[in-house]
Structure 1
């Protein structure tokens, strides 16, 4: 049996890539912008990047001895990485449930897609945007809808005082503002 067939046979793509797994039975909520971004990445891999790598591998294979051919070995490795990412994106997009946060514009209650400002007991004010698992970027103040802070904030309203359970203990927080993007 070929080595390629035995390597790919078992593992789950999520675990191999170290990406966040969806909670069992949970939906894969995603904003329209997040869905479009993942879809664009998928088509870019399929239409642009993969064909270029296949061409390089084909050229390198025609040069002869593949065991010491760096272009061939690297190209095959990169091709596996691209194929793994394509499978991952395809699976995630198939089960995605696109939720448009603009429908809640003007509401003071926290739902998926909300940008929430809250203050901790210490006086520290923080702002987070609640997004999907595949699109949230913590460096931009975005959190996944399954994170502890998002789960605490969901369904609350401006002015609500909540208890956030953290590894360091329980924090008291107060919701200051809830905003949603406007329709384009």
Structure 2
């Protein structure tokens, strides 16, 4: 994996196939279902008369702008995305993109993290952006390695207990 793409030094927009599938499903739902339904509601509301006090029309137009922005964002992300399938990872004894890593800190607290693309990261679900400080510190680590992560609250040390990839 390269550290920066050709466009302005920005890291590549890696994404797992599952993450890409979720983005595509959201795009299809917004573009194919929600947007047409909303356009129909707006057309109906516009035909009623005075648009200045017509809640359906005003809300519909606002929601349509939100949907169009989200559709545009999703289209841009999917165009820039580089799918990387973690199940195809050959070097499974090291932490790479898509790895699920079990860590233990100095206090013995265990944590399980999966390194994913920025568009599929969800810290509450244990999916972290592969460019996050903890992920960058873990890349290349093997089971038993200790890595120090520089966080806003100070340095924290983690030991890699297990590494796995989807089958």
Common fold: TM-score over 0.5: yes
Displacement over 6 Å in runs of 4+: none
Task: Kindly provide the CA deviation profile for residues 81-117 of structure 1, in whole angstroms up to 9, marking residues without a partner as x.
Answer: 0000000000000000000000126711000100001
Task: Kindly provide the CA deviation profile for residues 150-175 of structure 1, in whole angstroms up to 9, marking residues without a partner as x.
Answer: 11101111111111111221112111
Counterpart-to-counterpart distance in 2, 1:102 and 1:172: 28
TM-score by length of 1: 0.84
Let me know the Cα RMSD of the aligned residues.
Answer: 1.3
Tell whether 2:5 aligns with 1:49.
no
Contact persistence 1:120–1:173 (CA under 8 A)? yes
Matches within 5 A, 1:65-76: 65-76=50-61
Counterpart-to-counterpart distance in 2, 1:137 and 1:111: 18
Q: Structure 1 residue 50: deviation in Å?
A: 0.3
Unaligned runs of 5+ residues in structure 2 are: 1-7
- The equivalent of 2:16 in structure 1 is 31
Unaligned runs of 5+ residues in structure 1 are: 1-22
Q: Structure 1 residue 73: deviation in Å?
A: 0.2
Q: 1:80 to 1:164 in 2, by over 3 A?
A: same
Counterpart-to-counterpart distance in 1, 2:115 and 2:161: 15
- The equivalent of 2:124 in structure 1 is 139
Counterpart-to-counterpart distance in 1, 2:124 and 2:9: 26
SS of structure 1 residue aligned to 2:37:
helix
Tell whether 2:154 aligns with 1:169.
yes
SS of structure 1 residue aligned to 2:49:
coil
- The equivalent of 2:5 in structure 1 is none
Q: 1:106 to 1:28 in 2, by over 3 A?
A: closer
- The equivalent of 1:14 in structure 2 is none
TM-score by length of 2: 0.92
Q: When the two structures are aligned, how many residues end up with a matched partner?
A: 160
